[in-house]
């Protein structure tokens, strides 16, 4: 068990594999046949991205929860995560 817990998941290989799996799953959910499903998936992703943008703005800029500014990369990851969650919600 200690061997599993000692694995560093922030190495480049793990991050790239995770990103590739996420991209494949995103396209599987987004590119379903039918115009209505595609529009619904796009609307869910856009709504999720807007929620992610609003939440980062509120938490970091308005409420200053962390007492330090977050990087642009963190904001982008949060927005993309929320967009993916919006896509998942409307896809099932």
* Digit-coded pLDDT (tens) for 26-84: 888 877 778 888 889 899 999 999 999 999 999 999 999 999 888 888 898 899 889 98
Q: Look at residues 81, 82, 84, 56 and name the one whose alpha carbon lies nearest to residue 70.
A: 56
Domain ranges (residues) in the chain:
2-91
- Is 12 in contact with 24 (CB distance < 8 Å)? no
Per-residue pLDDT band at 1 (split at 50, 70, 90): low
* CA separation for the pair 29, 92 (Å, rounded): 9
Q: Which residue has the tokens 């200690």?
A: 2
CA 4, chain centre distance (Å): 25
Tokens at 75, concatenated: 């904001």
* CA separation for the pair 47, 76 (Å, rounded): 15
Crossing angle for the helix pair 72-91 and 35-56, to the nearest 10 degrees: 140
pTM > 0.85: yes or no: no
Burial of 60 (0-12, 13-18, 19+ CB in 10 A): middle
């Amino acid at each position: 068990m200690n061997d599993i817990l000692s694995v560093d998941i922030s190495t480049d290989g793990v991050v790239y594999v995770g990103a590739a799996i996420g991209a494949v799953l995103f396209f599987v959910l987004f590119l379903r046949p039918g115009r209505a499903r595609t529009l619904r998936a796009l609307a869910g992703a856009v709504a999720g991205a807007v929620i992610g943008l609003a939440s980062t703005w509120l938490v970091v800029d308005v409420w200053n929860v962390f007492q330090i500014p977050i990087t642009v990369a963190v904001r982008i990851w949060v927005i993309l995560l929320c967009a993916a969650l919006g896509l998942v919600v409307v896809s099932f």
